[in-house]
Amino acid sequence: MDEGGKNVSATSSKPRESIHPMWVVITGLLVLGLLSWLALALLWQNPDKLPGIIGAIASPIVAIVSAYLGIKVGNEQGLVGTAAAIQSRDRAERNVTAILADLPPEQATKYAEILGVPVAPQPPPPDRPDPGK
């Protein structure tokens, strides 16, 4: 809590920084180009080995960049789906509450118990004496 008595979470005070996917692709291409150039410079006299070496260099870089982008896109889609599910649930709860409020009390209590909605205790009917007395 802060001085004003309000709850402040650690994530709300610090904006979430994110790497743009284009920078990941550009960095991967630069590293791939640099390592390919280095292999070409070292093996310029024996070009038969270059395709195998460049393939061995390129495969892990491409796999890492692809995995990063796949995880990033999947996470963003998951967050969107989670937010939509929460909104849908809240809307359904409001609708059920509104429907139960329109029912007569005895029917509303019955359906609220079936749905697991908390219900205020009902006083006993006036024609029966209270069993505790």
Tell how many helices (H) and how many strands (E) occur in the chain.
4, 0
State the pLDDT at residue 131: 62
Q: What is the CA radius of gyration of the chain?
A: 32
Q: Nearest to residue 96, comparing CAs of 82, 76, 111, 83? A: 111
- The Cα 31–Cα 54 span in angstroms is 12
Q: pLDDT digit string (tens) for 62-116?
A: 898 888 888 888 888 888 888 889 999 999 888 888 888 888 877 878 888 887 7
pTM more than 0.85: no
For the chain, the domains span: 19-115
State the pLDDT at residue 88: 92
* CB neighbour list of residue 61: distance below 8 Å, 6 or more residues apart: 28, 31, 32, 35
State the pLDDT at residue 133: 57
**Tally of residues, the chain:** 133
Average pLDDT score, the chain: 78
